[in-house]
Structure 1
């Protein structure tokens, strides 16, 4: 995968940059990956299931403890935007910008981190591309904080700390999909996660053996959960569930009950479309998981992915013309299936293609949709300590 450093090289680079900035070696280097979701968009905060894989792309965090009560944050991707704030003064908005994500992790352990921390982050997860660069940043820092401060967090704790940083400190109302994928994924597998009870298992996904590749195409249109219509969609789902008398939309056994939302008002029609997407998307996750577990040809999942895009475009209304163009171009070039990924309003699309057709599909998408970047995804390992 182009632009991805081996762990040893990535750790050395982060450690060297830390030493150059802070005048001493870090106490360790940790990494967490971005993710791409095979299927299951906007089901995580609706009590449904998701099926992500971890990217080989990671965010690395080199860190060390301090004794002056300061949190100093440096990013290789944001030169000149360092943050230096007293741990005691951490609060939503202080610091802001990219630094809010790691600061939101440290703020939750203010007492344990009272002496202060130095953190330098570097990485190759494309920002704003719908590949969860923010979750990768949060999870890498959460791992570093856990180990440096001896906090003993398990996987669920790491997910929760990272999610709260995004929800409560930064103000992006996401579910647990992104952080769970970053922490729990394993190489060669997709993570099947039930977001209601948080049970999970690994589903083998060996596309190479089937002569296939998962192609991620960056549309070139960036997005931000904190600023997009993501929060509005979540509120609409909550209202639809309330009107139907369930805690979560994915508690419904099927689509039959959804007609009750259509009360003749424009709002009711919108709520019906939003709920229709969620319930049918949850069913699509189950369909793909069943196909993969049965050892069926993964090409059979292609139409399910494409149906998911149509629902995200028409029912949930979170696609944009640039994403639609990428999907249409990929399908026209021979992809078995394609869809937008992530929260929407920009970001990336994913296409299931023959391994031998990667270059041709990439070229066709670049020509027809103007998409600037594409990556072949091999399901990779989750968060880990590198050094």
Structure 2
């Protein structure tokens, strides 16, 4: 694969790349819409990755080519990069260059060849994978010496300020910092990390990812509106962030808020509690006990946060009815993917049941695969 990538790079850019870097997509076990509220999250990295072959340029230009693109090279001057100036997928790697330069790091031009098998628009952080692979490449190409968490924050800055999506740090931290065989318990306020072992195979379990093929665009304003609502609620409650509202104070706090903000607050507070509950189960080796926690998390996203859709609701319902221990929407919402925890022996039956339910409802057939906790961003060659 590395030799093939080098050959592809040479065909597009001429000459050989200096190296190749990779970063994974992620699936979040639990902890949705908590990261921009200074809360807790528990993602795993996927085996699906974005690969970037790269070499330096000395002329101050950035030349980008995507194997999934339209067959043309995007050629940009580094001194012309500014928020909102680069459209489509190219804004993500360009934003990383911009964020590094803004932070004072000495980066110059580069040729990039990008290839990815992370499903786009499926709630699996394809944008974070692209950002983190680019950041890892530039870190090595220009000898910046940045740590994985530092690269994740650069990638987050690119998405927030350059692309314009006000996401929290979870996606980039997962893509940069996850380890094989573990979930990443991340405190998004302090950025303290803990790798919690997650051996699904030893427990006879599998984590099925169901990509509903309903595409979402977090840059369309809906995500920003949710974040603004949470920030307004925290301000009205006199809190730095909703993370600071304890579960035993939730009922009294809701009474002090306008009706439209109450469901958002209820979701964030109960979701943080679900994350810590999940970690406790994993530490005790009680992986099967995660099932009801996942399903409760979906109900909260559907009823309180209102970021689900008919396809994700149906995937959850069909999976649970077919014997899954639990299931929930994962990612920012408005489409995307569902995860279902199930015994390995009945996984095929659950997949068949979900496909049948989608066919009956007239929905496009979902794409499904099994998630394995994988490694974060790294150099391949």
TM range (shorter): over 0.9
The separation in 1 between residues aligned to 2:156 and 2:107, in whole angstroms, is: 22
**Where do 5+ consecutive residues of structure 1 fail to align?**
1-8
**Residues 196-205 or 267-276, more deviating:** 267-276
Aligned match of 1:61 in 52, 65, 68? 52
Contact kept, 8 Å, 1:30 with 1:143, in 2: the verdict is yes
Cα RMSD (Å) of the superposition?
1.4
Give the corresponding residue for 2:329: 340
The answer as to 2:243 corresponding to 1:271 is no
**Where do 5+ consecutive residues of structure 2 fail to align?**
none
Contact kept, 8 Å, 1:106 with 1:113, in 2: the verdict is no
Give the corresponding residue for 2:142: 149
The answer as to 2:10 corresponding to 1:16 is no
Aligned match of 1:356 in 338, 345, 350? 345
The answer as to 2:290 corresponding to 1:301 is yes
Shift of 1:115: 4.4
Contact kept, 8 Å, 2:351 with 2:368, in 1: the verdict is yes
Per-residue CA distance 1:209-246 (angstroms, 9 max, x = gap)? 11100000001101111115111110000011111111
Aligned pair in 2 of structure 1 residues 157, 233: CA closer, same or farther (>3 Å)?
same
The separation in 2 between residues aligned to 1:33 and 1:342, in whole angstroms, is: 15
Shift of 1:269: 1.3
Shift of 1:13: 2.9
Give the corresponding residue for 1:378: 372
Give the corresponding residue for 1:130: 123
Per-residue CA distance 1:81-110 (angstroms, 9 max, x = gap)? 531111111112222110000000111234
The separation in 1 between residues aligned to 2:105 and 2:191, in whole angstroms, is: 28
**Residues 367-376 or 183-192, more deviating:** 367-376
Paired positions, count: 374
Give the corresponding residue for 1:189: 182
Contact kept, 8 Å, 2:28 with 2:331, in 1: the verdict is yes
Per-residue CA distance 1:14-73 (angstroms, 9 max, x = gap)? 222111101111001000000000000011111111110000000001111112221111
The separation in 2 between residues aligned to 1:219 and 1:210, in whole angstroms, is: 27
Could you tell me the TM-score, scaled by structure 1's length?
A: 0.94
The separation in 1 between residues aligned to 2:27 and 2:16, in whole angstroms, is: 33
Could you tell me the TM-score, scaled by structure 2's length?
A: 0.95
The answer as to 2:277 corresponding to 1:284 is no
Aligned match of 2:169 in 169, 176, 188? 176
**Residues 78-87 or 326-335, more deviating:** 78-87
**Residues 361-370 or 216-225, more deviating:** 361-370
Aligned match of 2:202 in 197, 209, 214? 209
The separation in 1 between residues aligned to 2:26 and 2:52, in whole angstroms, is: 17
Contact kept, 8 Å, 2:84 with 2:164, in 1: the verdict is no
The separation in 2 between residues aligned to 1:361 and 1:261, in whole angstroms, is: 38
The separation in 1 between residues aligned to 2:237 and 2:130, in whole angstroms, is: 37
**Residues 172-181 or 15-24, more deviating:** 15-24
Aligned pair in 2 of structure 1 residues 228, 319: CA closer, same or farther (>3 Å)?
farther
**Residues 124-133 or 353-362, more deviating:** 353-362
Shift of 1:168: 0.4
The answer as to 2:103 corresponding to 1:109 is no
Aligned pair in 2 of structure 1 residues 21, 112: CA closer, same or farther (>3 Å)?
farther
